[in-house]
Amino acid sequence: MGYKSMQQCVSDLEKHGHLIRVKEPVDPNLEMASIHLRVHEQGGPALFFEQVKGSKFPAVSNLFGTLERSRFIFRDTLDLVKKMVQLKGEPLTALQDPLAYAGVPFAALKALPMKARLGAPITHGKVNVSELPQIKHWPDDGGPFVTLPVVYTEDIDKPGVMNSNLGMYRIQLGGNDYIPNKEIGLHYQIHRGIGVHQTKANAKGEPLKVSIFVGGPPSHTFAAVMPLPEGLSELTFAGALGGRRFRYLNKNGHVLSADADFVITGKVYPKENKPEGPFGDHLGYYSLKHDFPLMKVDQVWHRKDAIWPFTVVGRPPQEDTSFGDLIHEITGDIIPKEIPGLHEVNAVDEAGVHPLLFAMGSERYTPYYEITQPAELLTIANHILGFGQMSLAKFLFIAAKEDNPQLKAINKEAFFKHMLERVDWSRDLHFHTNTTIDTLDYSSEGLNAGSKVVIAAVGKPRRSLATQLPSIEWPTSIKKVKLAFPGVLALELDEFTKYDIESSKVRNLAKALLAINHELEQVALIVLTDDADFVAKQFKNLIWSTFTRANPSHDIYGVGEFTEFKHWGCKGPLIIDTRMKPHNAPFLELDPEVEKRVDQLGVKGKSLHGYI
């Protein structure tokens, strides 16, 4: 069914047992987020908060909390949308099986945006920013945030809805130096369409008009995070996925989504920034306070039955994991078809998505020889690092499909093991230094800046991976040793101080290990850590702590390392220093007092009994 509103979606989910109502008054300051995190961790239902303290508007969260619920929301349109996206990549497919694609033209008709009639629901009323649910998610957040915003901007040189950009860029509603009700923070990272729009507006010395849609049909929310093929509008995708054309109107010089629950309109003026953050983000750390665009608020519109949707991000997996899973399901093989020789990619959610990418490619350059070193894989890797959001990958592991045709990059542990068995650290590391990385990645000392490394491996296994600790006497600087994964050792060291001191210590450790390198033949990787027990407890702990905290150019060392004609490599195991550095952002931790209050809600509140 095509939902006309968030209210229809909520009612449908409740009718089918996918949503529960929280009838007790709940504080938007940390309590709502705590409840959400607990219910999501259990794979629980969506949550409708009837009484949000300090606001007349109810709120809903965990809508997309499971892939199954996301599929349920879009159950009537999902298959057709998959076919539409497939046809975008391979138009001739429909000619091969026309009956299978018979419904696509009708779905395409619903993809065209349309102007709403007078009296659109969104124009029911106006409020101040302070009257919206002021949801603060983590203790050290700079203030309340909008976490499911659909941010709309237009190209000043090509105005109109078909040249617009929809994106999900977090919005800070208050705190810091913002003038209450008049200013809010607009945070967006690099490689985002809104940046192009603001650049063009700045060049003309004009403000960028911004409309922030909150709520409405859930297809609008999903469209804002969908990495669409070139030339496919987010508004058209929202209409196709929702089974209902995207309705809009123009009001006071701004575009409003007619079906949204709330719309905040405003302007971003050239070179007017203010500190935004901190914010507990999806890598599992705080993104820190930095200057970001300042949005001066014009109006805040709402519909009669308005519901405020939100989510909570933190160390993955969280609700946004379901976004990623559904995106992968819809796009299918589209991205590999855009890059010759690429079979599969997996932006690893447990490592925060951008820090770690697994890929499978082909080696077809010299089929008349046995492949002994990467060739086409490096061409594919360079293409990946220049392709859309994948260009933000920091660690890119790429394997040859021919070496193991049954291997899938989505099977993370099997893929990682395959790479460690085959990688030649003296040859297979390819660094990109002094480059851009994800805005939210604090492994480097500079915002948006850091390094990347491509690790390409082909051929037969070079080593059997250790399944137990080597029987050797470790240097006294090592406090604890754990086997974290086959062929991977976690060495616990003292706290990191600063690079000039610690790099010397690590290289001395590497020299000591070189003397016993023959005992480490089954060890491919050594991670230096603050907590070896934590790293070794679960595979997801290993990849989260390793790839979110390490800056390749600064934190990679090796046993028997060398530099030859500007190529760096090592003869023994690779060493990655994953200890927390002074410039790293702090972990996300819950407030113990708030957790006690939420415990009591679980005891007293009938609606939450059994979930928290």
Residue linked to tokens 């990385």: 437
Residues 99 and 30 in one domain: yes
The pLDDT of residue 232: 65
Is 598 part of any domain? no
Is 462 part of any domain? no
Residues 141 and 284 in one domain: yes
Q: What are phi and psi of 132, to 5 degrees?
A: -75, 155
Is 602 part of any domain? no
Question: Quick one: average pLDDT of 405-433?
Answer: 97
The C-alpha torsion from 540 through 394 and 410 to 462, rounded to 10°, is -90
State the DSSP H helix or E strand holding residue 94, giving kind and residue range, or none if neither.
Answer: helix 93-96
b/e 323-356 (16+ beta carbons within 10 angstroms → b): bbbbeeebbeebbbeebebbbbbbbbbbbbbbbb
Residues 127 and 236 in one domain: yes
Taking alpha carbons only, the member of 193, 130, 131, 141 closest to residue 167 is 193
The pLDDT of residue 106: 45
The pLDDT of residue 88: 57
pLDDT band (50, 70, 90) for residue 127: very high
Q: Residue 40: is its pLDDT beyond 70?
A: yes
Residues 297 and 357 in one domain: no
Q: Give 279-301 pLDDT, tens digit per residue.
A: 999 999 999 999 999 999 999 99
Residues 373 and 497 in one domain: no
Is 321 part of any domain? no
Residues 492 and 442 in one domain: no
Is 465 part of any domain? no
The pLDDT of residue 102: 41
Is 594 part of any domain? no
| Contacts of 90-94 spanning 24+ positions with Cβ under 8 A | 90/337
The C-alpha torsion from 50 through 55 and 57 to 58, rounded to 10°, is -20
CATH of the domain at 427: 3.40.1670.10
Is 583 part of any domain? no
Is 360 part of any domain? yes
Question: Quick one: average pLDDT of 149-164?
Answer: 90
For the record, the structure tokens of 584 come out as 């790293």
The pLDDT of residue 231: 53
CATH of the domain at 88: 2.30.110.10
| More confident of the two residues 404 and 111 | 404
The pLDDT of residue 83: 78
CA atoms of 124 and 111, how far apart (whole Å): 26
The pLDDT of residue 230: 52
Question: Quick one: average pLDDT of 357-374?
Answer: 87
The pLDDT of residue 85: 72
Q: Residue 95: is its pLDDT beyond 50?
A: no
For the record, the structure tokens of 56 come out as 């007349």
Residues 441 and 486 in one domain: no
Q: How far is CA 579 from the centre of its chain?
A: 23
Give the residue numbers spanning the domain of 357. 334-457
Strands 114-115 and 429-436: unpaired
Residues 157 and 28 in one domain: yes
The pLDDT of residue 98: 43
Residue pair 5/305 in contact (Cβ under 8 Å)? The answer is yes
Residues 509 and 444 in one domain: no
For the record, the structure tokens of 298 come out as 């014009």
**Helix 234-242, helix 78-89: angle, nearest 10:** 140
b/e 397-419 (16+ beta carbons within 10 angstroms → b): bbbbbebeeebebeebeebbbbb
The pLDDT of residue 233: 74
Strands 561-564 and 567-570: antiparallel
For the record, the structure tokens of 301 come out as 């519109």
Residues 398 and 529 in one domain: no
Overall domain count for the chain = 3
Q: In residues, how long is the chain?
A: 612
Residue pair 292/276 in contact (Cβ under 8 Å)? The answer is yes
Q: Which of 93-97, 263-267, 358-362, 467-471 has the lowest mean pLDDT?
A: 93-97
- pTM for this one? 0.92
CA atoms of 135 and 310, how far apart (whole Å): 9
| More confident of the two residues 318 and 192 | 318
Question: Quick one: average pLDDT of 169-188?
Answer: 96
Question: Quick one: average pLDDT of 445-450?
Answer: 86
Q: How far is CA 578 from the centre of its chain?
A: 21
State the DSSP H helix or E strand holding residue 49, giving kind and residue range, or none if neither.
Answer: strand 46-49
Residue pair 185/289 in contact (Cβ under 8 Å)? The answer is no
Taking alpha carbons only, the member of 386, 322, 316 closest to residue 348 is 316
Question: Quick one: average pLDDT of 22-36?
Answer: 96
Q: Residue 90: is its pLDDT beyond 70?
A: no
Residues 210 and 65 in one domain: yes
Q: Give 75-84 pLDDT, tens digit per residue.
A: 999 988 887 7
Residue pair 58/51 in contact (Cβ under 8 Å)? The answer is yes
Question: Quick one: average pLDDT of 339-366?
Answer: 92
Residues 205 and 285 in one domain: yes
CA atoms of 602 and 35, how far apart (whole Å): 9
Residue 278 half-sphere exposure toward CB, CA atoms < 13 A: 15
Question: Quick one: average pLDDT of 491-518?
Answer: 96
